[in-house]
Amino acid sequence: MIIRSCTALLCSAAVPAALVAQATEAGRGALRPYVHVFLAYGVTWVLIALWVWMIARRMKRLAARESAGPATDGGG
């Protein structure tokens, strides 16, 4: 599930780059001044995907710890 979500996010981040690559002869370079915006958009989506992945990992660890039962710390 998470891999599919990350793949979808990465593909959606690649869309602006594809639009820049498909510029026609008349509009060649029309989006060039906005390349930094597209790059920032893509980096932001990658960071969000990593953040969601880290949260999912922590939740799995917490669920495994809870299913193991109560912890015994040996204290009185």
Question: What is the pLDDT tens value at each position of the chain, 76 positions in all?
Answer: 667 776 776 666 666 655 556 655 566 788 899 999 999 999 999 999 999 999 999 999 999 999 987 766 555 4
- What was the pLDDT predicted at 41? 97
- What was the pLDDT predicted at 37? 96
Any domain includes 73: no
Q: In this structure, what DSSP letter does residue 25 have?
A: S
Other beta carbons less than 10 A from residue 25's beta carbon: 5
Token readout for 59 is: 């939740």
Any domain includes 76: no
- What was the pLDDT predicted at 4? 74
The number of helices, as runs of H, and strands, as runs of E, in the chain is 2, 0
Domain encompassing residue 50: 2-67
**Residue in this structure with the two tokens 């193991």, named with its chain if needed:** 68
- What was the pLDDT predicted at 48? 98
Any domain includes 55: yes
- What was the pLDDT predicted at 68? 87
Any domain includes 49: yes
Any domain includes 75: no
Any domain includes 14: yes
**Cβ atoms of residues 33 and 25 within 8 Å:** no
Any domain includes 11: yes
Number of domains into which the chain is organized: 1
Any domain includes 74: no
